[in-house]
Amino acid sequence: MSSRLFSSVLDVTTPGRYPRAQKWVWRRVYNMLSRFWSDGDWRFMNYGYLPSDAPFSLQAEDEPERTFIGLYHQALDGLPVEGARVLEVGSGRGGGCRYIARYYAPASVTGLDYSPETVRRAERLNSDTPLLTFETGDAEAMPFADGTFDIVINIESSHCYGDVPAFAREVSRVLKPGGWFTFADMRPKSQVKVLDEQLAAPGLEPSARRNISPNVVAALDAAESRKQQRIRRAFLLKRFMSEFSGSKGSVLYKGLSSGQIVYVARRYRKTG
């Protein structure tokens, strides 16, 4: 029953199919999750990434979050983050912004999220981190001036948007010339080409394209035990959370493992 329900939710929220309903549903899902998981046990809400090569360095206190931090590490690896003004669009509970602020020496990090409850939760969970601010706002109409940021990062968030081309145009607008846009998210295999077309906003020059699905599945496997410990405490939401979190046997886990769902990573450079 829960798999059928979750499949129905995914059908409603397929990017571009029902744009108004899509944004309405996702906003309420994330508001609900922020109220339900109110503690600091989970600062991240992504599926994770484990690199195929040598592991990256982390402080001991951050080791429990390694799989989730991995998506941010791969997104920023090699980019000129030191001294940069960084924006994360779809910042969730703020774990990614916190990691960037603590490890990369940026000038500032701003997290933007559509869910007011999630923004309030991020502010409370990360109040100890300098250089970090959070704002409520729409990825398709960002509340920032042109050319404000050096780097824009977007991790596992765009599937919630009603108008991905509008989001890409906004990224191009708020980036400085020479700035970087780094992106990671999943799509059904049949929609990957469409996604690349949607992200091809004027001023954004493609720099790198990767399929990181195997690394994401490896991260899901590594985090399974920890997720199950938390899901067992969910009571009435237990089955839904198993699907939502990509646990083994879920619709999303099966899709990523079989290749029917593809997790992609992209980089773009702002021209001019």
- pLDDT digits 0-9 by tens, 150-184: 999 999 999 889 899 999 999 999 999 999 999 99
Per-residue b/e over 219-254, b at no fewer than 16 CB within 10 Å? bbeebeeebeeebeeeeeeebbbbbbbbbeebbbbe
The rounded percent of the chain whose pLDDT value lies above 90 is 67
pLDDT for the residue 25: 58
pLDDT for the residue 1: 37
More confident residue, 37 or 141: 141
pTM value is 0.85
Give, in order, the Cα–Cα distances in Å from 252 to each of 23, 24, 256, 263.
20, 21, 6, 11
* CATH architecture designation of domain 2-270: 3-Layer(aba) Sandwich (3.40)
pLDDT for the residue 11: 46
pLDDT digits (tens, 9 = 90+) for 94-126: 999 999 999 999 999 999 999 888 899 999 999
